Chains A and B, each alone.
Chain A
Amino acid sequence: GAVVSQHPSRVICKSGTSVKIECRSLDFQATTMFWYRQFPKKSLMLMATSNEGSKATYEQGVEKDKFLINHASLTLSTLTVTSAHPEDSSFYICSARDSGNSAFFGQGTRLTVV
């Protein structure tokens, strides 16, 4: 099956700094990628839909100025958590849709803000 790679898998940053998370489709082109957030013992919550070459569509309640999404190429979408705070600590997962309309998930990124 198709492979989606997220980097980094874990990151610890200081409060107030920004962190960039990359989501790459390794063997297919993805015009659409999705970013999810998972809280401990909670389900995944869709944050935004990332479309190549256009602005991301954010779900209600997600701050677009805080969670910047860039989908500059057909194989890469990035999520930047700006001015991170401890409450932003979470597990972030991306998924990418291939030309066959199947979605594949990355392995996730554990963000800890101290």
Chain B
Amino acid sequence: AQSVTQPDIHITVSEGASLELRCNYSYGATPYLFWYVQSPGQGLQLLLKYFSGDTLVQGIKGFEAEFKRSQSSFNLRKPSVHWSDAAEYFCAVGLNQAGTALIFGKGTTLSVSS
């Protein structure tokens, strides 16, 4: 069965520091992988997605993620975190390329300290 694991429940980084949020997936076929961000009480915003091709994917707000098939990982990175990046981040595997019918990880809460 498909599953997504985000090992880190809560991460705190200093503003300006680099960030890496971990995501591991379990999926039998070619994975369609997504990262979403959710601000408190809000819906989800797509940061980036991977379907195929270049394993390093660029997204919005300066985020990028790297797909590593050998490690079943799709970690999210940002070189310099801003205070406005504080939010909940979800990794998800999609059952199709549309990114619909998603299976989400439990999320990682990012706090940014000044």
Contact = CB atoms under 8 A, between A and B. Distances in A.
A107 B102 contact: no
B42 A103 contact: no
Interface stretch (B64-72, B74-82, B104-112): B104-112
A57 to B, nearest CB: 9
Given A32-B100, A49-B101, A44 B41 contact: no
A34 interface: yes
B43 A106 contact: yes
A12 B104 CA distance: 27
A6 to B, nearest CB: 7
Chain A interface helix/strand/loop/mixed: strand
B113 interface: no
A45 B105 CA distance: 10
Nearest to A33: B100
Residue from A43, A45, A46 having most chain B Cβ neighbours under 10 A? A43
A107 B43 contact: yes
A21 interface: no
Interface residues of B, number: 20
Interface string B35-46: 010000111111
A71 interface: no
A93 B90 contact: no
Interface in B30-65: 36, 41-46
Given A42-B106, A108-B42, A101 B98 contact: yes
B103 interface: yes
Contacts of B18: none
Nearest to A91: B41
A67 interface: no
Interface of A: 4, 6, 32, 34, 41-46, 49, 91, 93, 95, 97, 101-108, 110
Given A46-B101, A101-B96, 14 more contacts: A34-B101, A43-B104, A43-B105, A44-B102, A45-B104, A46-B102, A93-B43, A95-B44, A101-B97, A101-B98, A103-B98, A103-B100, A108-B43, A110-B41
